[in-house]
Amino acid sequence: MSVPGLPDGVPRHVAIIMDGNGRWATERGLPRSAGHRQGVEALRRTVRAAGEIGIGVLTLYSFSSENWSRPASEVRFLLELLRRFIRTDVAELHQANVRVMMIGDRDGLDGALRTMVEEAEALTRENDGLKLVIAFNYGSRQEITRAVGVIARKVAEGMIAPGDITPAVISDHLDTGGLPEPDLLIRTGGEQRLSNYLLWQCAYTEFVFIPEYWPEFGAELLGRAISAYRMRDRRFGGVKAQSA
């Protein structure tokens, strides 16, 4: 099961739900913030490993639109982690030919953080290596709703005929427009649900759920998930031809 242009069996697009920071910390008698800090280290390890393996797109679910309901102190800490990541890591990612992108509702971010995100995207826009997509303030139902709203306005303005709306048109209007759909979705922490993540895009994605918490993730666990992916028989709704 190879992907054209990539090493044999390497998925073109890997999406990850980075779950378990808080539980990792709690089990060690540490504050949840310690788990989030270690989660950033796991992110760095995973980005390096993905680039070395030859993955084309790595999409990470870092902050959902539902995470605003967490304690205000934790939300502030997570926002500050994003700021620190942009300040300290984007230059290195740029040197490594990584393109940084963000999906999600940017209207929920303060102006300074939005500017930092936009500057990181502009700096790395021409890079043609790994695409690192950060899903921040992201929810898939909200994303689909925004896309439908844009399409509806275009229909009202005569830019699109109702009969011309296809799955491809909807895909193009999602936050991930222009990116391939995920081949593999990994969720850490033992939970087995999508949690409002890439619902449209994951129609034919292979899922791998692992019990380890996100702060433990890195090259070894990524390799294990890809090994499981390689064992899958992806038919996309079809069947293999049967011999007579």
Q: Kindly report the number of other CB atoms within 10 A of residue 202's CB atom.
A: 17
Active-site annotation holds for 196: no
Catalytic annotation, pick one of 67, 105, 127, 196: 67
Catalytic annotation, pick one of 8, 19, 97, 127: 19
228 to each of 3, 188, 203, 239, how far by Cα in Å? Answer: 16, 14, 19, 21
Any bridge partners for residue 14, and if so which?
A: 58, 184
d(CA 183, CA 140): 17
Any bridge partners for residue 15, and if so which?
A: 59, 185
Active-site annotation holds for 137: no
d(CA 58, CA 98): 10
Cβ atoms of 17 and 185 closer than 8 Å:
yes
Q: Kindly report the number of other CB atoms within 10 A of residue 13's CB atom.
A: 22
Return the active site residues: 19, 67
